[in-house]
């Protein structure tokens, strides 16, 4: 990292894993401290930090309502961005809107949902609501880029 670089800081999916002490961080203490440390280290090198929330998981209930799984973690990112005056992209909001717009069935296309033999990587059925398919990854990347273009960080001039 050097002066003039842009550093996009986004993590949190694994920090919430209460059943894994090697990954879990308390959102209001260690997770927040890590975000602040990364922002401070980035600024100390003369680079520009940009904070992002995690993307939402595809988690529809039986009534077709998308249920949040990240709890306090996105809120803490929003708080750090506000408190430290860091450019911010709310990927949780953008991807929630994406999932809801697609709906419970069509949103499966955005994730790793395959029947055995449909995809060369999976010889068994696959139903992964966290990780993205090629279509999902491209869609989410476009959402991020569109929002980054609207930021007044200087990064927008490098985005085509």
Separation of alpha carbons 57 and 92, rounded Å: 9
Strands (E), 18-150: 48-52, 88-89, 111-114, 126-132
Let me know how long the chain is. 160
pLDDT for residue 18 is more than 90: no
pLDDT of residue 15: 76
Angle at the Cα of 84 from the Cα atoms of 90 and 41, rounded to 5 degrees? 100
What are the pLDDT digits (tens) for 94-143? 999 999 999 999 999 999 999 898 888 888 899 999 999 999 999 999 99
Handedness of CA 106, 111, 113, 118 (dihedral sign): positive
pTM for this prediction: 0.91
Burial classification of residue 153, based on how many CB atoms lie within 10 Å of its CB (0-12 exposed, 13-18 middle, 19 or more buried)? middle
pLDDT for residue 22 is more than 90: no
pLDDT of residue 123: 86
Separation of alpha carbons 45 and 61, rounded Å: 45
Contacts of 118 (CB under 8 A, 6+ apart): none
Which of 3, 4, 155, 29 minimizes the C-alpha distance to 87?
155
pLDDT of residue 122: 84
């Amino acid at each position: 990292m050097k002066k003039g670089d842009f550093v996009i800081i986004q993590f949190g999916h694994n920090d919430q894993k209460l059943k894994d002490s090697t990954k879990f961080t308390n959102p209001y203490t260690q997770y927040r401290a890590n975000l602040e440390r990364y922002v401070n280290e980035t600024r100390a090198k003369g680079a520009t930090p940009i904070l992002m929330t995690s993307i939402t998981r595809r988690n529809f209930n039986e009534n077709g309502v998308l249920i949040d799984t990240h709890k306090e973690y996105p809120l803490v990112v929003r708080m750090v961005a506000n408190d430290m005056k860091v450019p911010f992209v709310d990927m949780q909001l953008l991807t929630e809107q994406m999932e809801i717009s697609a709906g419970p069935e069509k949103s499966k296309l955005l994730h790793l949902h395959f029947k055995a033999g449909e995809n060369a990587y999976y010889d068994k059925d696959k139903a992964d609501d966290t990780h993205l398919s090629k279509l999902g990854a491209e869609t989410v990347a476009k959402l991020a880029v569109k929002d980054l273009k609207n930021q007044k960080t200087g990064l927008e001039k490098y985005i085509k």
